[in-house]
Amino acid sequence: MKFDTPAGTNPIDRMKVVGQPHERVEGPLKTTGTAAYAYEHQQYPGAPVYGYVVGAAIAKGRIDSIDRTAAQHMPGVLAIVTAQDLGALGFGPLGKGDKNTANLLGGPDIEHYHQAVAIVVAESFEQARAAANAVHVAYTRGQGRFDLAQEKPNAKALTGSDADTATGDFETAFAAAPVQIDQTYTTPDQNHAMMEPFATIAWWEGDALSLWTSNQMIAWNREDLATTLSLPLEKVRIMSPYVGGGFGGKLFLRSDAVMASLGAKAVGRPVKLALPRPFIMNNATHRPATIQRIRLGATRDGKLVAIGHQSWSGDLPGGGPEVATQQTKLLYAGANRMTAMRLAELDLPEGNAMRAPGEAPGLMALEIAVDEMAEKLKMDPVAFRVLNDTQVDPEKPTRPFSQRNLVRCLKEGAEHFGWHRRLATPAQVREGRWLVGMGVAAAFRNNINIASAARVRLNDQGIVTVETDMTDIGTGSYTIIAQTAAEMMGVGIDRVVVRLGDSAFPVSSGSGGQFGANSSTSGVYAACVKLREAVAQRLGYDPERAEFADGLVRADNRSATLAEAAQAGELVAEGRIEWGNLSKQFQQSTFGAHFVEAAVDSFTGEIRVRRMLAVCAAGRILNPRTARSQMIGAMTMGVGGALMEELAVDKRFGFFVNHDLAGYEVPVHADIPHQEVHFIDEADATVSPMKAKGVGELGLAGVGAAVANAVYNATGVRVRDYPITLDKHLAGLPTLT
């Protein structure tokens, strides 16, 4: 790895552009409605037609017959494509790439409710929808498994990175611990509920397929779509320049892309297809529900000696677990520890990644348990966490954290929030009918590094253009990439053009796992190192001595503008960051502390969040404005997870009942109070030349428990099953006397 530049210093460390609170460079396009999302693009050959997907009406079983007679004679109908028709279109049976659990086109076997079974293509959207309703599918319903609690005894152990872990002797240490907590917590199935639905415009030119779509990971999706349709990779082009949110739901190829591609093949015209909101919740992925048992053992003076975390979740056969024990391996010291995940087979829709997969539900449980332990010890919950901090991986004590400032987050947060005003005994603070309390939780999310490439161009106007298949899912990628290129080339951000989200560009990290900010900008850094060398060479300067600042290149006593350097023709350079065995040497994580004040109506049980503060340690913050925006969005999602969000499972027929945004509640403006975000001033020189990590998921990790702990502190009623709806604590609330 080469984290230094030819000039011997890292230009990013100047922080003239990087680290500054620049406004979003694509902001005006978005606020004026001129940034095109997947369904809105106009660039394709010919006039488009419209697709509408028919979803399976059963969760498990078989299609007996599909009667399309009525539908195909309806006005405007051009084609109906089902699994039966693939041969006629020149396709074999579809694959599913390597990242999907269920087939994206079902039939004759049905794996989950609302699995796509047909696309109807018509001249208008309304015609396609009407005809889709007239496709009659007859099924034989099979026996499905839909209840996690019921399937729990059949859940299986896992291997690889999901295998059980054990350090010391947990059982003995826990049994002998003078102070113990042994509790079970549950988190429900959740949906990403991103603003922009899954949507695709697909068209064919000969045997080449192009898509405008809405996706977080361009390269993964290109590969998986090519595999699914048995096409050579170079015959597939994927473009997602703007993405209206994903939260993990758009990491993977979904049915909109596959079905639109099949429909377009059938009619020989571009097909526009958006999945309607009521279809998304059961057709696409969700965060799986968990049942988590946590056992903590401590000495009387508050040292954790035993930490045990077991988690059960379910997924379709061949799927994976919600990795809820992840943070428990790393968050607190303690000599004796165990984690174990068990996976049950369920025939519900596919479970998969949703923002902070693992840590979000894991911390919702663990950080209540820690609160319960602190109370039992009669210790302040901040002090208890500080006492049990670790600077090394507790399972591998020779392996340090690259940087870990959890304690500072907790202490500075407590100070700033006025934590000393919290009363340790719950239900003591009243304001009229309101009971008021404060809660805290640690935030923790691992830092993942993904190889990332970019191309940079310098033209004779001195304009630097960055091209990479990185996506901006609302996070600010355009802006931090522009800042990175500007800093590296010594120009203002107005001299940089950023082009993203196209599989014709070099393969980046993509957006996911909060790895996008650090990984993709590091790839741009690598490309700019190459471009600086090319500029120096073109000018005949010693690349080791060339300095880039104020739009000029200087070496010894000579200088030139960047525009002059490119007079003889555009300079183009490509670079890629790779990470070697860095993550073996160092545990890289991000840290934070969430503080919440909540009020509970003592008559109705209604919960109002009054104040929120997050203090974060996540390496260098590349742009405090966009990073804060990530944080407050995540904190808002955390309030949803604590108080509202729950996909209700119909355990007889196997589907999510509340499959729209009327029934699946997320916070609205009136639910969210003043939110404050502080970033610890740090730079993590180990992780990358940018010295940055990510905050997109850190902001969510721990919030649910901080809300839960605040509600408990207000009421004295401990709720261990999320979401904390008023029915769960109403009966126990103290009455006014």
- Interatomic CA distance for residues 354 and 637, integer angstroms: 11
Distance from chain centroid for Cα 718: 29
**Looking at beta carbons only, is 11 or 512 nearer to ligand MOS?**
512
The tokens describing 305, both together, are 């000696």
User: Quick check: 481 and 690 in contact, CB under 8 A?
Assistant: no
Q: Count Cβ atoms within 10 A of the Cβ of residue 662 and give its class: 0-12 exposed, 13-18 middle, 19 or more buried.
A: exposed
Q: Is the dihedral of CA 642, 644, 647, 648 positive or negative?
A: positive
Shortest reach from residue 512's CB to ligand MOS, in Å: 3
Q: Count Cβ atoms within 10 A of the Cβ of residue 125 and give its class: 0-12 exposed, 13-18 middle, 19 or more buried.
A: middle
Shortest reach from residue 288's CB to ligand MOS, in Å: 12
544 is known as an active-site residue: no
Stretch that binds ligand MOS, among 157-165, 245-253, 582-590, 726-734 (CB under 6 A): 245-253
User: Quick check: 512 and 446 in contact, CB under 8 A?
Assistant: no
Distances (CA, A) of 191 to 290, 355, 719: 14, 10, 22
Q: Which of 357, 362, 506, 605 is close enough to bind ligand MOS by CB under 6 A?
A: 357
Judged by DSSP in three states, 645 sits in coil
Residue written as token pair 């490309």? 527
Q: Which of 11, 97, 197, 246 is close enough to bind ligand MOS by CB under 6 A?
A: 246
Shortest reach from residue 473's CB to ligand MOS, in Å: 8
**Looking at beta carbons only, is 246 or 319 nearer to ligand MOS?**
246
Shortest reach from residue 325's CB to ligand MOS, in Å: 17
Could you tell me which residues come within 8 angstroms of residue 704 by beta carbon, excluding any fewer than 6 positions away?
Answer: 187, 360, 361, 363, 364, 441, 638, 641, 642, 722
Stretch that binds ligand MOS, among 233-241, 247-255, 482-490, 653-661 (CB under 6 A): 247-255
- Interatomic CA distance for residues 659 and 155, integer angstroms: 27
**Looking at beta carbons only, is 313 or 336 nearer to ligand MOS?**
313
Shortest reach from residue 692's CB to ligand MOS, in Å: 17
Shortest reach from residue 503's CB to ligand MOS, in Å: 19
- Interatomic CA distance for residues 329 and 705, integer angstroms: 18
**Looking at beta carbons only, is 246 or 506 nearer to ligand MOS?**
246
Shortest reach from residue 143's CB to ligand MOS, in Å: 32
Stretch that binds ligand MOS, among 240-248, 409-417, 584-592, 649-657 (CB under 6 A): 240-248
Stretch that binds ligand MOS, among 347-355, 362-370, 410-418, 726-734 (CB under 6 A): 347-355
Distance from chain centroid for Cα 694: 11
Binding marks (x or -) toward ligand MOS, 486..525, rule CB under 6 A?
Answer: --------------------------xx------------
Binding marks (x or -) toward ligand MOS, 58..77, rule CB under 6 A?
Answer: --------------------
Q: For the chain, what is the largest distance between any 2 Cα atoms, rounded to a whole number of angstroms?
A: 86
- Interatomic CA distance for residues 605 and 115, integer angstroms: 39
**Looking at beta carbons only, is 106 or 510 nearer to ligand MOS?**
510
Q: Which of 22, 145, 355, 678 is close enough to bind ligand MOS by CB under 6 A?
A: 355
Q: Count Cβ atoms within 10 A of the Cβ of residue 270 and give its class: 0-12 exposed, 13-18 middle, 19 or more buried.
A: buried
**Looking at beta carbons only, is 246 or 302 nearer to ligand MOS?**
246
Using the 8-state DSSP alphabet, how is residue 727 labeled? G
**Looking at beta carbons only, is 323 or 649 nearer to ligand MOS?**
323
Q: Which of 81, 173, 354, 639 is close enough to bind ligand MOS by CB under 6 A?
A: 354
**Looking at beta carbons only, is 382 or 700 nearer to ligand MOS?**
700
Shortest reach from residue 514's CB to ligand MOS, in Å: 7
Which helix (H) or strand (E) segment holds residue 498: the answer is: strand 496-499
Which single residue brings its beta carbon nearest to ligand MOS?
A: 248
Shortest reach from residue 273's CB to ligand MOS, in Å: 22
Catalytic residue among 574, 597, 646, 697: 697
Q: Which of 102, 132, 251, 703 is close enough to bind ligand MOS by CB under 6 A?
A: 251
Tell me which residue of 731, 618, 637, 619 sits closest to 684, measured CA to CA. 619
The count of other CB atoms within 10 Å of the CB of residue 551 is: 14
Tell me which residue of 12, 518, 576 sits closest to 4, measured CA to CA. 12
User: Quick check: 607 and 724 in contact, CB under 8 A?
Assistant: yes
* Residues in the chain, overall count: 737
- Interatomic CA distance for residues 157 and 282, integer angstroms: 26
**Looking at beta carbons only, is 354 or 553 nearer to ligand MOS?**
354
- Interatomic CA distance for residues 200 and 259, integer angstroms: 9
**Looking at beta carbons only, is 80 or 360 nearer to ligand MOS?**
360
Stretch that binds ligand MOS, among 244-252, 489-497, 552-560, 669-677 (CB under 6 A): 244-252
Number of residues engaging ligand MOS in binding (CB under 6 A): 11
Shortest reach from residue 217's CB to ligand MOS, in Å: 9
Q: Which of 82, 187, 215, 216 is close enough to bind ligand MOS by CB under 6 A?
A: 216
Shortest reach from residue 666's CB to ligand MOS, in Å: 16
Give the DSSP letter string of 23-47.
PPTTHHHHHTT-S--GGG---SSS-
Shortest reach from residue 274's CB to ligand MOS, in Å: 20
The conformational region for residue 474 under phi > 0 = left, psi -120 to 50 = alpha, else beta, is left
Stretch that binds ligand MOS, among 151-159, 352-360, 501-509, 524-532 (CB under 6 A): 352-360
Could you tell me which residues come within 8 angstroms of residue 428 by beta carbon, excluding any fewer than 6 positions away?
Answer: none
Footprint of ligand MOS on residues 278-317 (CB under 6 A)?
Answer: none
Does 353 bind ligand MOS (CB under 6 A)? Our answer is yes
Stretch that binds ligand MOS, among 34-42, 270-278, 350-358, 476-484 (CB under 6 A): 350-358
Distances (CA, A) of 51 to 63, 96, 228, 619: 21, 21, 19, 45
**Looking at beta carbons only, is 334 or 694 nearer to ligand MOS?**
694
Does 218 bind ligand MOS (CB under 6 A)? Our answer is no
Does 422 bind ligand MOS (CB under 6 A)? Our answer is no
**Looking at beta carbons only, is 489 or 637 nearer to ligand MOS?**
637
Could you tell me which residues come within 8 angstroms of residue 480 by beta carbon, excluding any fewer than 6 positions away?
Answer: 18, 517, 521, 622, 623, 626
Using CB under 6 A, list all residues that contact ligand MOS: 216, 246-248, 251, 353-355, 357, 512-513
Residues marked active site are found at 697
